[in-house]
Amino acid sequence: MTIKKFEELECWQESRSLSRNVYRHAKNQPFSKDFRLSGQITGAVVSVMSNISEGFDSLSNKEFVRFLTYSRRSCSEVQSCLYVALDQRYIEEQDFQVSYEQCRTVRKMIDGLIRYLKRS
């Protein structure tokens, strides 16, 4: 099966779900009033999706892998921001756990794609 568009990539689909989840939390008060943190976490989650899609249209696997590593790093940034949101009581522990694990899932999917591209 050949993937013809980035929307078909499972890691992009899961990162889209993560994005919806993070934005849902960031829109709630008082989280939404913390402009620095809400901007940081939403920027990072958008970066996860964007780098996957941008890398997909690279001219080489090596370039695609480079963009995927940026996306991977952005997952870690989202996780770090989730800790701040939890510590500030902007999100509940259960919501933290769900989002944190979703980041881990996206990163594992990205890692799998990186391994595949490096072998190809």
Distance CA 14, CA 9 (A): 9
pLDDT of residue 59: 83
11 class by beta-carbon count within 10 Å (0-12 exposed, 13-18 middle, 19+ buried): buried
What domains are there in the chain, each with its CATH number?
8-119 (1.20.1440.60)
pLDDT of residue 2: 83
Q: What is the pTM of this model?
A: 0.93
Backbone angles phi, psi at 28, to 5 degrees: -80, 145
pLDDT, averaged per 10 consecutive residues of the chain (120 residues), comes to 89 98 96 96 98 94 97 98 98 97 98 95
Distances (CA, A) of 1 to 15, 32, 65: 21, 42, 20
* 3-class secondary structure, 89: coil
pLDDT of residue 1: 56
